[in-house]
Chain A
Amino acid sequence: MTSLLETENADNFSDKDKILLENILKKTGPSRIKYALGAGSIITAVLTVWLGLFVTPNDEHLGDTVRLLYVHPPVAWAALYLAFGTTTLASLLWLWPKTRSFFWDKVAGASAEIGVLYLALTLITGSIWGRTTWGVWWTWDARLTLTAVLLVLYVAYLAIRQLDGTSKAKATRNAITALFAAIDVPIVHFSVLWWNTLHQTASVLTPGLHLTVPLSMGLTMGLGFLCTTLIWGWMMKARYDIELLKAVTGEMESQRAILQRRSEL
């Protein structure tokens, strides 16, 4: 990476550096979009929990358990398609020479970390669902197994992100790992069709867009999807800010160390 800072004296910054720091502090500080995303997340989350736990009716077969459906599919969707989809796209944009920018590497890493959190929640809520409806915490159902594999893959991806190297080599390595990991996502998606096992296929909204459940349940589930999406957006901004700040402070500190060293000689 070409140096962000043009410092020539260990204790002083050039004017250009000052503007850059000012900019980064402003960028990572409070902003309207952050408040909007944060407020939206909180409102939709509170509404989803309230509607999901207290307002919607019990299912005639599943009873209370149906309430997990306002959490499980939304987090699964946000993990598999929103978070890992963003990671894949950002990785491709890094690998493509015309759009190559460290911005994409930071976006890919941020989204993958949130995806891992969401995917872990998907497995946990799914496991609770399994305990109440199938009687077991875990079965070696194809979708469950492949989802667990996916979690391991993205944890490995996050581990690979921590490895040393020049920043360009690191970003390329991350992007390639992300692309390989992404191959598993469509397999998880189609697994319910290919394997004829326990996990049910999408059943609330049929392909013809006919709602098969009461309207209040459909709306609550839709709100759940909106909620996980907004939370993802808020977390993305926060996680990206951290990456940006880490890059600048790291750069500054190494720069200072070099200059200090030079002044001692």
Chain B
Amino acid sequence: MFRDGWAVASKDLKIEIRSRVLAMQVMPLTGAILIIFGFALGPDIGRLRQNASGLIWVSILLCSMLAVQRSIAIERECGGEFLKLTGYDLAGVFIGKVLAVAIEVFLIAIATIAITSVVFNTGLHGIMNILVLIAVTALASISLSSAGIIFGAMFISSDTAETLLPLIYLPLTSPVLLAATKASLPTFSGSGSIKLIWVGILFLLAVAYFSVGSISFEPLLEDY
């Protein structure tokens, strides 16, 4: 199962590296979103830093949706069968798809944080904060990609996939957004101390989304 998962994930990542959509389109997009926020919220750098955590996570959320759509598009080109007929274990396929998207979301998050540290002048304030931030980002990536893969697969053959996916994906992942924002607020604003309960909540959310996703994937594909 895990070997299949790894095979699927590395296949997806190789396709992504070759097409360079992530590097050349999605990463610049997150920069564009942050700059728009900067315009909208005015030149006051203090206010931008105060709100940086929320802005960062909103842009990661929006860009993660694109990563999900990319990952689903690969399958759609192959007939939307999700490698069902190739002998791979379906649980493995799910793990692989989630892993690939989670790695992409993680990279998007790093790029977003790097851009903000330049344009919003946010620092990272200490090694402990950086470790917490890595944990937060990894956990959030798993939640986002689990929910994204399931609903991407659900609407894969629908004509209105472009509107249906955001309609369910954005509200569904907003608890992740909320918890991740709270967990990394002190790191970006430089005031207050980190409350580890948020990391705990993110962990529970990651477990919940991933396990609901893995029990859903097989029944979802069996009827298409």
Contacts and interface: CB of A to CB of B under 8 A. Distances in A.
Direct contact of A and B (CB under 8 A): yes
Interface of A: 95, 142, 145-146, 149, 152-153, 156, 159-160, 163, 166, 168-169, 172-173, 175-177, 179-181, 183-184, 187, 194
B200 to A, nearest CB: 9
Given A95-B216, A166-B223, A176-B154, A183 B171 contact: no
Given A163-B158, A194-B197, A180 B171 contact: no
B140 to A, nearest CB: 14
A227 to B, nearest CB: 30
Contacts of B171: 149, 152-153, 156
Q: Which of A159, A168, A177 is the most central at the interface, judged by chain B CB atoms within 10 Å of its CB?
A: A177
B90 interface: no
B25 to A, nearest CB: 27
Interface stretch (B55-63, B80-88, B116-124, B204-212): B204-212
Classify chain B: how many residues form its interface, as a range: 20 to 34
B148 to A, nearest CB: 11
A146 B154 CA distance: 25
B175 A149 contact: yes
Q: Which of B151, B168, B197 is the most central at the interface, judged by chain A CB atoms within 10 Å of its CB?
A: B168
Contacts, number: 67
B132 interface: no
Interface string B116-159: 00000000000000000000000000000001001100100010
Given A180-B216, A183-B172, 15 more contacts: A95-B215, A153-B168, A159-B167, A163-B164, A168-B223, A169-B224, A172-B220, A172-B222, A173-B154, A176-B150, A177-B168, A180-B151, A180-B172, A180-B212, A187-B201
If over half of B's interface residues share one DSSP class (helix, strand or loop), that class is named, otherwise mixed; here it is helix
B193 interface: no
7 contacts: A149-B171, A172-B220, A172-B222, A180-B147, A180-B172, A180-B216, A183-B205
Nearest to B175: A187
Contacts of B215: 95, 179
B208 A183 contact: yes
A34 to B, nearest CB: 34
A184 B151 CA distance: 16
B212 A179 contact: yes
Nearest to B171: A152
B219 A156 contact: no
